[in-house]
Structure 1
Amino acid sequence: MAEQEWMSEVRAKVGREYGRVYAWDEVNAPMIRQWCEVMGVDNPLYTDADYAATTEFGGIVAPPAMLQAWCLEGLHMNNYAPGSTDENPYEVLKTMEAHGLPSVVAVNSDLHFERYVKLGEKLYYTTRLDAIGEEKTTALGTGYFVTLIMSFFSQKPEGDEKVGQLLFRVFKFRPANVPKPVEKGAAPAVPKFKRPKPGVSDDTRFFWEGAEAGKLLIQRCTCCSTLRHPPAPVCIKCHSFDWDTVEASGKGSIYSFVVMHYPEVPPFEHPNPIGLIELDEGVRLIAGLVGVKRDEIQIGQRVQVEFQSFDDGELTLPMFRPVAA
């Protein structure tokens, strides 16, 4: 089938609204508290019932950025709450794969909020295939930008109320650099993959330059001495724009961790343990764990920074190794 023919079929689905996906639970205080703890959010409007009762909301509300979390399937893929649709809102991506566009990369995701959601509300969302762009050729390859919009609603006896929406856009494409077939009898070339380099800005440059020098530098507000990481242009406590840096000891403990098994992305080794490290200075940062056995990693385990160079010295990263108690 010619590309224009199957793409016409795909474009005919633009505007289609897919069925509801329900939340497993009502908006509840324990989930809000745990989310705030993990994200480092300490706004009493979200966790302090006495304080929240004195506000215009009359009680605890959920952080707006939690909107998508209420309707996620959980640990197991596609394990949605009873009553949820079994329609696949990504069916157009499967069609594109079948016609020679196997690769996908997320482009952007935008959340829009109508209002705070309160304890006891039960949410659901629907998905609309919003747009499919014209064919584009990028450095990655040639393909199409696909945009979906998920609209979130609160169930109400008098009529369901929209509380927000999530725009999600991906690029579905045919890779530009497809490896050439290996000639018969020739040894296949082994591609050399490099680690992705971090985005460096005026706010973060000090951190990466410090890593190259073997120093773990943390941003510090010069007005109130608050330490902050990730780096930011303004103090989260006093809102000052003035800051300097302090060299951390590099000692800390594992606050949380994951062990990545899939997808296996070169050049990373798998399983790939990654830790959320709480430094003794009080801030947390995400870093790779080295010298560990995945079955022996423990919350609270003491670790020490060590700097490792990759890609012939092009990149230096702070990694953390367990130390004796």
Structure 2
Amino acid sequence: MSDGDRPSGAGAPGRESRPDPLRDPFFLRLQAYEGLPAAVGGSGKDPVNAPMIRHWCEAMGDTDPAYRGPDAVAPPTMLQAWTMGGLSGHTDRSGAYDELSGLLDEAGYTSVVATDCEQEYLRPLRPGDAITFDAVIESVSPRKTTKLGTGHFVTTRMDVKAGGELAGTHRFRILKYTPAARPEKPQQPQQPQQPAERPRRPRPVVNRDNAGFWAGVAEHRLLIQRCAACATLRFPWLPGCNTCGSREWDTVEASGEGTVYSYVVMHHPPFPAFDPPYAVGLVELAEGVRMISNVVGVPYDKVRIGMPVRLEFLAVDEELELPVFRAGGED
């Protein structure tokens, strides 16, 4: 019998047949979860509401008028936000998804990374809409090898309803995987130890859109862009006005007065040239725009929202000065 006449599936002498991943017993166990519910009869913790829409738009910098006023709709990309359970989670989650995740953990696929999501919008969501949702384990892939490691992709589909009417579909995909082994670095011959130098702060990225700002910093001036068409102030610097779209602009110099609008205290991860913990503030300038910088002059745990601050310029090394904000004193 020639190789061409050999029955399908038979291996030629000296040639190793490759296993079919679709017949792998473990994969067949995983595949049995396809179609099972991941959440049943879930309810959004809050109806669609204007404050959440406002917070979302402020965070995204989205000034579309469709999201404001008495006829406002929610940004379509908020679809999943209305279903989230927050820190306390949901009580209506199905056990099937947890079982599947546990099965993967037991097999050594203990790491997880979100890979992508897909959304389909069927109707706009408006303030007052009550949100319900159901989710299903849509698919589990055969074992795949990626640069991160080897594992299985798990896709869930969530159907989001408003007032019982399907409003959109959200597909979310993760990879549960075993991390790939890192190649060992070749040992380098030991060099005589030199006195340790303090790491330099990262350099800011200066380009044609923000070069004027950094030129102002070099002169100890904090410059804010002003639209030449509608006079709207904007910060950080942008090539065009996000209010009217004009590309024409000039600048005004900030007075240097401001207040802490919000802040975080950085503890981790430690980074060369930085000495945590330290406070990073979102400072609202007297001119109305906000910028992010360090808050200095008080201990990190004394920074407070509403605290008055004053601009100063900090020489972090012989080449770099940065604008920071000094608080007046401790509480």
**TM-score, length basis structure 2:** 0.64
- Counterpart of 1:259 (choices 265, 268, 277) is 265
Contact kept, 8 Å, 2:298 with 2:327, in 1: the verdict is yes
- Superposition deviation, residue 265 in structure 1: 2.8
Superposition map of 1:306-317 within 5 A? 306-310=312-316, 312-313=317-318, 316-317=321-322
- Secondary structure of the 2:260 match is strand
Separation in 2 of the partners of 1:308 and 1:90? 53
Cα RMSD for the two superposed structures = 5.0
Equivalent position of 1:57 in the other structure: none
Equivalent position of 2:74 in the other structure: 62
Separation in 1 of the partners of 2:44 and 2:261? 28
Contact kept, 8 Å, 1:112 with 1:166, in 2: the verdict is no
Contact kept, 8 Å, 1:109 with 1:167, in 2: the verdict is yes
Contact kept, 8 Å, 1:128 with 1:149, in 2: the verdict is yes
- Counterpart of 2:48 (choices 7, 16, 27) is 27
Contact kept, 8 Å, 2:43 with 2:83, in 1: the verdict is yes
Change (3 A) 1:70 1:280: same
Change (3 A) 1:37 1:194: same
- Secondary structure of the 1:155 match is strand
Contact kept, 8 Å, 1:125 with 1:150, in 2: the verdict is no
- Counterpart of 2:242 (choices 236, 240, 245) is 236
In structure 1, stretches of 5+ residues that fail to align are: 53-59, 137-141
- Superposition deviation, residue 322 in structure 1: 0.9
Asked if 1:318 is matched to 2:326, the reply is no
- Secondary structure of the 1:80 match is coil
Asked if 1:248 is matched to 2:269, the reply is no
Max radius of gyration: which structure? 2
Separation in 2 of the partners of 1:69 and 1:275? 26
Give me the identity figure in percent.
34
AA of the residue aligned to 1:232: L
Equivalent position of 1:117 in the other structure: 125
Change (3 A) 1:200 1:67: farther
More deviation in 285-294 or 167-176?
Answer: 167-176
Equivalent position of 2:277 in the other structure: 271
Separation in 1 of the partners of 2:205 and 2:139? 31
- Secondary structure of the 1:300 match is coil
Equivalent position of 2:159 in the other structure: 153
Separation in 2 of the partners of 1:191 and 1:65? 47
More deviation in 290-299 or 248-257?
Answer: 290-299
AA of the residue aligned to 1:67: L
AA of the residue aligned to 1:23: G
More deviation in 242-251 or 125-134?
Answer: 125-134
Separation in 1 of the partners of 2:99 and 2:315? 42
Change (3 A) 1:159 1:68: closer
Separation in 2 of the partners of 1:107 and 1:196? 29
In structure 2, stretches of 5+ residues that fail to align are: 1-18
Equivalent position of 2:13 in the other structure: none
Change (3 A) 1:151 1:309: farther
- Superposition deviation, residue 200 in structure 1: 4.4
- Counterpart of 2:210 (choices 204, 224, 229) is 204
Cα deviations by residue, 1:233-270 (Å, 9 ceiling, x for unpaired):
22122211112333222221111222234x33323333
More deviation in 238-247 or 163-172?
Answer: 163-172
- Superposition deviation, residue 143 in structure 1: 5.3
When the two structures are aligned, how many residues end up with a matched partner? 294
Change (3 A) 1:149 1:89: farther
- Counterpart of 2:222 (choices 208, 211, 216) is 216
- Superposition deviation, residue 284 in structure 1: 1.0
Separation in 2 of the partners of 1:265 and 1:235? 36
Equivalent position of 2:69 in the other structure: 48
Asked if 1:84 is matched to 2:89, the reply is no
AA of the residue aligned to 2:276: H
Cα deviations by residue, 1:72-109 (Å, 9 ceiling, x for unpaired):
343x3xx31220246469959x96xx68x98x998888
